[in-house]
A and B are shown apart, each in its own frame.
Chain A
C-alpha cells in the first residue's frame, strides 16, 4: 500500500523549536476489548518510572467488546494530575472514531495512527506519524490469535521514540505488569514494543515539540486505583463481614479485597478465614447482611453505586433508626436510573445524606485520593462503631477505577476501637442497661452483642417505634425523645468527622468548596486564576458530612464562595442550603459539571471568570 511508504511529514513552522517538556497529554483511542489496557498502563508507568508526575484516565463504554474507548495520560512537571481537556498527542487506533478524534485536536498536536486510516489527509496543521501496525505485528507475534492483543504494544514503542521515553522503562513496566508468572507474555509484548521503537527510529523525523525528560518527582511513590486503596483500608481496619452485589464502578473494590484477604487474612496455622465475603443475590440482601453482621458485632461493609444505593434505602433507614454500624462504599457513577454506568459523577450526595423515608441523616466521608481511600476507610469503620450508625464512604468512578500515583500508605497506629459494647462483666457490675438511653450525653447508647452470656444482655432490635429500653412504643413522648436524641447524636458527629482541608489566600475575596476528586480541578484552577487573571481564591475541601464550624467560618470570611459540584442540580450546595442561614446562603455560588468525564480545571476557571465578570 502506498500509504506505508509515506515519507516523514514536513515540520510545521515554529513548532519544534519550542520543546514542550513533561507537560502534555496523550490520548489513546482504541476499541474496547482489544487489549489496549496493558499497553496504556505500561506507557503510563514508564513515564512514572522516569520520575514525572503522571495520571491515567480510562474513558470506557458500558460494553464487553467493540465500542470505542479512550485512555488519557497526562504528564505534568507541575504535578497537576487532574484531567486536561486538550489533547496534545493522539494515538488513533480506532477506525470508528479516528476522524472525529483528529478533527477535535488543537493545531500543532501530534497523531500516531494506523496507516491504512489515511488520517494525514484530514488536516495540514498537525504532526502525523503513520504506522503499519498489521505489518509490524506479524513477525514479532507468530501466533495469529494473539496478534490483536500484542498489536497495541507497538504504539508504546513508537510513542517512546517520539517522546524520548527510555525503552528500559517500558521493559521494566512490562515485567511489573505481567509479573514473574507471565514472563512469556511480557517477552512477547516487549518484542512488539521494540518493533515499534525501531520502526519509528528508522522512519520518522520528529517534528512535534512534545517530549519527556527524567525528573525526580515520583521516587518512592506507588500506583494504585482508589478501589484497591479502599479495599486495603478495609482490610487494615479489620473488616470481618463483606457483602456485595457486582455493579460498576464498585465491583473491583470487593474483587481487590477478595484478593488481599485470601493472601493476608487466613490463620497461618489452620488456614481458616478471619472474615466472610458473600456475593449476595442483590443489594437489598447485601446491605441486610451487612447490618445483620454489624448488629452481631462484626465490622461489616458493602460496596455499591447509585442503583444499589437506591435499593438499599429501606435498610439504611433501619440501620439509622435501630442504630447499627456498617460501612457502605458508594463509588458514584452518572445517574439517574442506569445513567452512564461507566462515567463519573458526584450525583448521589443529596440522596445519600438523607437516604430512606422518615427523618434520617447519614454521615458521609469524601476521600479524594488513594491515600485518603486508605486512611478514611479505617476512620469510617471506627466512626461507624463509635456512633453506631451506617457510614457512607463516597468515592467516584474517576477515583475508584483509574490508576493514581500516591504516597505509600502509613500503617494505622491507632488501635481498633469497638465503641460502646457492654460485656457480661460490665452487665454484672451495672446490673442491666437500657439500649437507647443517652448515658454519656453524646446521644450514643450502650449495646450488647448477641451471644453475651448474661441474663441482662438481651434486647429486642426493631425498626418500629421504641423507647430507651428498646421496647415497642407508639407514645408521642417516647418517639420524640428518641428522634431528638438521634438528631443530637448527629450534631455530636460534627466534632468527630475528618476535618476539612483549608487553604486561605491572603487577599482572596472568593473561595472554593469542593469534595473528593473535584480537588484536582479546583487546585489547578486556583493556580490558573492567579496566573492568568490575577484572582486570588481560597479553598476548603470538605472531607465529610455533617459539615463543621470551619465551613461556616470559611464562608463568613469570603464575599463569594463557589461550591463545585459534579452534578446538574448543585447537590453539595443544596446540602449546605439545608443547614445555613440566609446570610451565608446568599454568599454561595455554584460551579457545576455533569458530562460524565473527570472534572478539569479549565471548566472551573472559565466559569469563575464568567461569574466574576472578568
Chain B
C-alpha cells in the first residue's frame, strides 16, 4: 500500500491564491533597505484582502523606490516611467481603464524634488489611486545627495549640512486635495498594514508617506530619516485596525475613544486614539498638528486625514462605467449621419 502522504494543503486567500502569487521578482535593493519592508507589506495586504492581481496596475518613477514595483505583485501589469512623472502615466492609464486599482510607488526625490509639480496636480485631481512615498531624504542611486524632504539641519554621511527646509508631502497632500493621507514608518508592520489596506479600500487619492531609512547613505547620526532617529522621534497618533467588508464588524463594539470610519467598499477603518485628541476627518486640525510637530521635531505617524465624500476625478469626468479604452467601435465612432450633419453645418 502506498504510503505517500498527501501534501499539506496550501494556504490560500479568499480567492484561492497563495501569497506567492502576490510576490514579484527578487529585490536588488540593499539588505536592510526600508523599501523592501514596504514591498512585503504591499504583498501581504493585497494577499490578505484577496485582491485579484489582474485588476491592479503598478506605477513608479525613477530611483531606488521606483524599482520596487518589480518586487511585488508580479501578476499585475507594471510601468516604471520617467523621473518625477509617474502621476501623469498613472492618470492616463486610470482614465483609460477606470476599473484598474492603481498603486504608485515613488521616492522623496521623485515626488518632492523633480516631481513636485505632477504630485501636486495629482493631489488636486483626487485621482483614485494609492500613492506611496518611500521617504528617506536622499538620492540612493546617485550615491547620497539630499532630496527636498531632507530636514533642515540634517547632515549627509560626508558631513554636508542641509540649509533648506523640507517639503512635508503629507501637509501638501492635505492642503491641496488628497482624500486619504497617512504617514508611517517602514519598520512598523502593523500600522503600515492597516494604512495600506485602508488605501486599497479608499475611493480617491491615498497619499502615504513612509519614512524608509536608506541604510547605505542616510542611516547615520545627523540623519533625521534613520532607524535610530525614528525610534526616538516617532509619535504614533493612533492604534489602527482595518476591518474588511467580509468580516462581521458587530463582533467588536467600538468603545470610548474609538472611531469607526466606513469605507466605500463596506470595510471599516477602526481608529483608537492614543495620547493626543485628534479627529482625522478634520483637515485643518491635521495641518495644525503637523505644523506643531515639526517645531517639536516629532515625526507623527498614523492616519492624518480621511474623507470619503469628495468626488474623484473620474466621477467629475462622468465616464462610461466600462473602461473607455476598450469600448467597441459602435461606441467611439459616431455614425455616418453625424458626419453628414457636421459637413452640412460647414457648407
Contacts and interface: CB of A to CB of B under 8 A. Distances in A.
B164 interface: no
Interface string A331-346: 0000000000000000
Contacts of B79: 292, 295, 460-462
B275 interface: no
Size category of the binding interface on chain A? 35 or more
Interface string B45-69: 0000000111101000000000001
Contact of B319 (A260, A273, A299, A451): A273
A292 B324 contact: no
A174 B326 CA distance: 43
B244 interface: no
Interface residues of B, number: 57
B96 to A, nearest CB: 4
A222 B345 CA distance: 8
B336 interface: yes
Contacts of B25: 471
B76 interface: yes
Given A298-B96, A411-B339, A450 B118 contact: no
Contacts of B4: none
Contacts of B332: 238-240, 265, 274-275, 299, 416
A272 B321 contact: yes
Contacts of A282: 117
A404 to B, nearest CB: 11
A450 B97 contact: yes
Name which of A450, A464, A471 has the most chain B CB atoms within 10 A of its CB: A450
Interface in A462-510: 462-464, 471-472
Nearest to B28: A472
Contacts of A448: 77
B306 interface: no
A290 B327 CA distance: 17
Decide if the interface of chain A is mainly helix, strand, loop or mixed. loop
Interface string A263-298: 011010011111110101110111111111111111
A243 B92 contact: yes
Nearest to A378: B333
B81 interface: yes
Contact of B324 (A240, A243, A260, A288): A240
A201 interface: no
Nearest to A242: B95
A99 B121 CA distance: 50
B165 to A, nearest CB: 24
30 contacts: A238-B333, A260-B342, A274-B327, A275-B324, A280-B121, A282-B117, A284-B88, A285-B85, A288-B85, A288-B89, A290-B92, A292-B88, A292-B94, A293-B93, A293-B96, A295-B96, A296-B93, A411-B339, A412-B333, A416-B332, A449-B97, A449-B326, A452-B54, A454-B54, A455-B21, A459-B77, A460-B78, A460-B80, A461-B78, A471-B25
Interface of B: 21, 25, 52-55, 57, 69-70, 74-82, 85, 87-97, 99-100, 117-118, 121, 317-321, 323-327, 329, 331-334, 336, 338-339, 342-343, 346-347
